[in-house]
Amino acid sequence: MVVFDKPHALTDTPFHYCPGCTHGIIHRLVAEVLDELGIEGKTIGIAPVGCSVMAYNYFNCDMIEAAHGRAPAVATGVKRANPDNIVFSYQGDGDLASIGMAETVHAAARNENITVIFINNAIYGMTGGQMAPTSLVGQVTQTSPYGRDPKMCGYPVKICEMLSQLEGPEYLERVTVNSVKNARRAKAAIKKAFENQIAGKGFSLVEVLSSCPTNWGMTPDAALKWIDDKMIPYYPLGVYKDRSAKEEN
Amino acid sequence: MAKLTFNTDSCKGCGLCVNACPKNLLRLSKETINKKGHHPVEITDMEACIGCASCAWMCPDCIIKVER
């Protein structure tokens, strides 16, 4: 009996990601959720700009490529025009937290009935490792060779905490995939985000802390440990908003 | 009995599966090189595998198929 295989919602195209990049794990979790909910045929994904720009090659569902940061705006249009389809956007931190900040905040404030998968790896991966809005204080990047200095560059943006202050969003959770246990929790969160959309509850965002071994200058294993040691203390895991759970209590 | 199948051509030799295995049965091959130029993963003792799929959960390239 096959207990684990590549999900149907992923194509056979090999991922172009660097060795040890957790984008592949998150792609698979999203695809497994599409399989389990049986929604692959009516799902429309919005690909971002960044490392995962070619996500449309990997997911078996319909995909649209959005301009940098505009995925929630494109998703809004797709969902409003086709309310019966399931719409998700898959965005990195340079895409969602930097140039797409306005689109993200307003989609959340409007409680658009879409699912956003937000990959936070604290760096601009595809362009070569520049400082992102989510880079940690003291983190060495191409554009902060002496470490991020908050006097000059401010402090990293905590998206889940920030959006949780809004009345709009339905569900916000931060997870990571640096161990099997955490990956299982991440899958549960992603599944809930899609179930919320199917139930018409509104805006669900899952922030996944991800690794970038190449631009962090670490081995894949050390990068996973760096998530535990440096990222989770600043970006604590957990549910930041879950309106339906609140109403049940 | 558990059986693992590796799509070694797509393996990037990152080693995340090696560290995920609770029985320490996986290693990166020292002798072979795959199409991409990486040392692909291999299993040292198939008999001892418990089929927990931890390796497959952590594989970023979905190259591991687990049967039990």
> What is the predicted ipTM?
0.95
3-class state of residue A149 by DSSP: coil
How many separate domains does chain A show? 1
Asked if residue A247 is part of any domain, the answer here is: no
Asked if residue A30 is part of any domain, the answer here is: yes
Asked if residue A8 is part of any domain, the answer here is: no
To test the contact with chain B by mutation, choose from A3, A12, A226 the residue with the greatest count of B C-beta atoms within 10 A, namely A3
Element (H, E) at A241: strand A238-242
Asked if residue A135 is part of any domain, the answer here is: yes
Q: Hey, are the CB atoms on A180 and B14 less than 8 Å from each other?
A: no
How many separate domains does chain B show? 1
Q: Are A73 and A228 in contact (CB under 8 A)?
A: no
Element (H, E) at B19: helix B16-20
CA distance A93 to A159: 9
> What's the CA angle centered on A233, arms A230 and A234, to 5 degrees?
90
The string of pLDDT tens digits covering residues A181-224 is 999 999 999 999 999 999 999 999 999 999 999 999 999 999 99
Residue A121: which domain range?
Answer: 23-242
φ, ψ dihedrals at A188, nearest 5°: -60, -40
B52 → chain A, closest CA residue: A3
A218 → chain B, closest CA residue: B14
Per-residue pLDDT of chain A (249 residues; tens, 9 = 90+): 899 999 999 999 999 999 999 999 999 999 999 999 999 999 999 999 999 999 999 999 999 999 999 999 999 999 999 999 999 999 999 999 999 999 999 999 999 999 999 999 999 999 999 999 999 999 999 999 999 999 999 999 999 999 999 999 999 999 999 999 999 999 999 999 999 999 999 999 999 999 999 999 999 999 999 999 999 999 999 999 998 887 776
Q: Report the CATH number that the domain containing residue A31 is assigned in CATH.
A: 3.40.50.970
Residue B38: which domain range?
Answer: 3-67
Asked if residue A234 is part of any domain, the answer here is: yes
**In this complex, is the C-beta atom of B55 within 8 Å of any C-beta atom belonging to chain A?**
no
- Say if strands A43-47 and B64-67 run parallel, antiparallel, or are unpaired: unpaired
Q: Hey, are the CB atoms on B38 and A23 less than 8 Å from each other?
A: no
Q: Are A85 and A60 in contact (CB under 8 A)?
A: no
**In this complex, is the C-beta atom of B28 within 8 Å of any C-beta atom belonging to chain A?**
no
Q: What is the reported pLDDT for A179?
A: 96
**In this complex, is the C-beta atom of B45 within 8 Å of any C-beta atom belonging to chain A?**
no
A18 → chain B, closest CA residue: B12
Q: Report the CATH number that the domain containing residue B12 is assigned in CATH.
A: 3.30.70.20
**In this complex, is the C-beta atom of A183 within 8 Å of any C-beta atom belonging to chain B?**
yes
Q: Where are the alpha helices (DSSP H) in A94-209?
A: 101-109, 150-153, 159-164, 180-198
DSSP string over A34-66: HHHHT-GGGEEEEE-SSGGGGGGGTBSSEEEEP
Asked if residue A78 is part of any domain, the answer here is: yes
